[in-house]
């Protein structure tokens, strides 16, 4: 059972999960992208000192068979490219932390500061713009972390249109299945 007073919900945009749907929960809206996500989780940690961070948001899928609300287990940094210096795609130079895992159950997600409209070089199940930053913060500071993404699009040429149509659809499912409200 998730304890409200020990948990912070991290969401990029208010329209993905409006606070009025989940009264009493600590909700932090980070804005879009890894930098905004990094600032938001740092501020939320200092303000709430949670035992658990939960990220909820929308994501594109690279696997056309996936839909609905999915749990994410591993995280990659999609737009880190220092291959010219001999590092693997997605690897941050001079760090021992590249792929971040929190569970053996769930799907993989690559995070980047770009809205995906064609297949990226790093192959994962899902694509988003914030989760890696949250996951890295929690891994480094040894804080429990869970991530749930609602599939909003197929990360293709129709992604923007599909995302705008589906952005609000996942909140109810997340609230019922994860928060048990």
Supply the DSSP string of the chain, one letter for each residue: ---GGGEEEEES-TTTS-GGGSTTSEEEE--SSHHHHHHHHHHHHHHH--SEEEEEEEEEESSTT--SEEEEEEEEETT---GGGTPPTTPPTT-S--SEES-SSSEEEEE-SS---S--SS--SEEESSHHHHHHHHHHTT-EEEEEEEEEE-SSTTHHHHHHHHTTTHHHHHHHHTS--
Give the per-residue pLDDT at 1: 78
Could you tell me the residue range of the domain that residue 27 belongs to?
4-177
- Total structural domains within the chain: 1
**Average per-residue pLDDT in the chain?**
94
What is the share, in percent, of the chain residues with pLDDT greater than 90?
Answer: 81
Q: Which two tokens stand for residue 66?
A: 């996936």
Sign of the dihedral defined by the CA atoms of residues 140, 7, 70, 111, in that order = negative
Give dist(CA 166, CA 150) in Å, integer. Answer: 9
Q: Can you give the CATH number for the domain in which 51 is found?
A: 3.40.50.1580
pLDDT digits 0-9 by tens, 74-129: 999 999 999 999 999 999 999 888 899 998 899 999 999 999 998 899 999 999 99
Q: What is the pLDDT of residue 106?
A: 95
| Confidence (pTM) | 0.93
* Whole-number pLDDT of residue 98: 82
The predicted pLDDT at position 96 comes to 81
Least confident segment among 5-9, 36-40, 57-61, 95-99: 95-99
60 band by pLDDT with thresholds 50, 70 and 90: very high
Q: What is the predicted pLDDT for the residue at 164? A: 85
Classify 151 as helix, strand or coil. strand
- The pLDDT assigned to 168 comes to 86
**Which of 59-63, 64-68, 91-95 has the lowest average pLDDT?**
91-95
């Amino acid at each position: 059972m998730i304890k409200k007073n020990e948990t912070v919900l991290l969401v990029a945009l208010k329209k993905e999960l409006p606070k009025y749907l989940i009264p009493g929960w600590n909700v932090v809206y980070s804005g879009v992208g890894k930098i905004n996500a990094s600032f938001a989780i740092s501020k939320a940690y200092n303000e709430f000192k949670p035992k658990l961070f939960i990220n909820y948001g929308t994501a594109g899928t690279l696997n056309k068979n996936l839909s609905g609300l999915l749990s994410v287990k591993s995280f990659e940094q999609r737009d880190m490219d220092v291959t010219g210096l001999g590092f693997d795609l997605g690897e941050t130079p001079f760090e021992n932390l590249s792929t971040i895992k929190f569970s053996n159950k769930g799907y993989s997600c690559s995070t980047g500061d770009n809205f995906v409209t064609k297949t990226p070089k790093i192959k994962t199940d899902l694509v988003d713009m914030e989760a890696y930053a949250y996951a890295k913060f929690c891994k480094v500071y040894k804080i429990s972390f869970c991530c749930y993404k609602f599939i909003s699009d197929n990360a293709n040429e129709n992604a923007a249109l599909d995302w705008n149509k589906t952005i609000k659809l996942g909140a109810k499912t997340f609230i019922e299945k994860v928060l048990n409200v």
